[in-house]
Amino acid sequence: MTLDPQAIAEFRARLRESQETNRDAWNASRRLIAAVNFPTTLAQLVSALQTSSLPPTLRDRLDGALRHGTAACVQDLQGGVLRQLTGLPPAKALRALCLLFGLSEKHSASPGSALSSAQVEDFIRRHRNPFDLLLEDDASSVLELGAGDLSFAAELVERYLPLLESQGKDLTVHCVDRLSPGSQVGARYHADPQRLARLMNLPSGSLEFRFWGNQDMFELAKLQGLWPRYTVVTCQAPPTPTVAYEPSRLSQGVIEDHLRRAKGEFRLVREGGEEALEVRHRGRVLLFPPWKFEIRGPLAFLDLLARRGGLCVLSAVDTEVFWELLSQLLADPRTRPRDVIFTPSLTAEVFGEVGRALAALPVGGTMVLSKEALRRDRHIRFRYVEIRRGALFDGVPASRTAKMFKDMTEETHPWFLTLIPEEVAS
The answer to whether residue 412 is domain-embedded is yes
Whether residues 237 and 346 fall in one domain: yes
The answer to which of 16-25, 347-356, 371-380 has the lowest mean pLDDT is: 16-25
Mean pLDDT, the chain, integer: 88
- Mark which of 54, 73, 106 sits at the end of a domain: 106
Give the model's confidence band at 108: pLDDT under 50 very low, under 70 low, under 90 confident, else very high. Answer: very low
Whether residues 318 and 417 fall in one domain: yes
Whether residues 141 and 205 fall in one domain: yes
Whether residues 297 and 402 fall in one domain: yes
Whether residues 179 and 307 fall in one domain: yes
* pLDDT tens-digit series, residues 192-229: 999 999 999 888 778 889 999 999 999 998 888 898 89
**What pLDDT does 424 receive?**
56
Whether residues 62 and 131 fall in one domain: no
CATH number, residue 161: 3.40.50
Whether residues 101 and 121 fall in one domain: no
The answer to whether residue 219 is domain-embedded is yes
Whether residues 102 and 125 fall in one domain: no
**What pLDDT does 107 receive?**
47
**What pLDDT does 187 receive?**
67
SS3 (DSSP) at 421: strand
Distance of CA 412 to the CA centre of its chain: 26
The answer to whether residue 261 is domain-embedded is no
The answer to which of 3-12, 73-82, 109-118, 253-262 has the lowest mean pLDDT is: 109-118
**What pLDDT does 29 receive?**
79
List Cα–Cα distances, 135 to 21, 35, 167, 291, 351, in angstroms.
30, 13, 8, 37, 36
* pLDDT tens-digit series, residues 178-188: 988 877 776 67
Contact criterion met (CB below 8 Å) for 277 and 292: yes
- Give the mean model confidence (pLDDT) for residues 260-287: 86
**What pLDDT does 332 receive?**
94
The DSSP bridge partners found for residue 335 are none
- Mark which of 106, 137, 162 sits at the end of a domain: 106
Q: Which residues have a Cβ under 8 Å from the Cβ of 336 and sit 6 or more positions away?
A: 246, 249, 327, 328
- Mark which of 52, 87, 106 sits at the end of a domain: 106
The answer to whether residue 254 is domain-embedded is no
Share of the chain above pLDDT 70, in %: 95
**Gap between the Cα atoms of 335 and 320, Å rounded:** 14
The answer to whether residue 300 is domain-embedded is yes
* pLDDT tens-digit series, residues 358-382: 999 999 999 999 999 999 887 788 9
pLDDT at 235 over 70: yes
Whether residues 179 and 316 fall in one domain: yes
**What pLDDT does 425 receive?**
44
pLDDT at 106 over 60: no
* pLDDT tens-digit series, residues 37-62: 788 888 888 888 887 888 888 888 88
pLDDT at 104 over 70: no
**Gap between the Cα atoms of 218 and 144, Å rounded:** 13
Q: Is the dihedral of CA 410, 279, 341, 320 positive or negative?
A: negative
The answer to whether residue 270 is domain-embedded is no
**Gap between the Cα atoms of 383 and 385, Å rounded:** 7
**Residue 227 or residue 35, greater confidence:** 227
- Give the mean model confidence (pLDDT) for residues 224-246: 94
Q: 229: domain range?
A: 117-245+293-421
**Residue 277 or residue 108, greater confidence:** 277
pLDDT at 154 over 50: yes
CA dihedral 174, 177, 180, 185 (to 10 degrees): -140
Q: Is the dihedral of CA 118, 305, 227, 87 positive or negative?
A: negative
Count of Cβ atoms closer than 10 Å to residue 332 Cβ: 13
**What pLDDT does 134 receive?**
97
Whether residues 53 and 200 fall in one domain: no
Whether residues 237 and 362 fall in one domain: yes
**What pLDDT does 318 receive?**
93
The answer to whether residue 14 is domain-embedded is yes
Structural domains in the chain (count): 2
DSSP run (H or E) holding 154: helix 151-166
Whether residues 376 and 318 fall in one domain: yes
Q: Which residues have a Cβ under 8 Å from the Cβ of 361 and sit 6 or more positions away?
A: 367, 387, 388, 389
The answer to whether residue 268 is domain-embedded is no
Give the model's confidence band at 270: pLDDT under 50 very low, under 70 low, under 90 confident, else very high. Answer: confident
**Gap between the Cα atoms of 42 and 73, Å rounded:** 9
**Residue 404 or residue 28, greater confidence:** 404
pLDDT at 231 over 90: yes
Contact criterion met (CB below 8 Å) for 249 and 336: yes
**What pLDDT does 111 receive?**
65
The DSSP bridge partners found for residue 374 are 330
**Gap between the Cα atoms of 240 and 414, Å rounded:** 13
Give the model's confidence band at 311: pLDDT under 50 very low, under 70 low, under 90 confident, else very high. Answer: very high
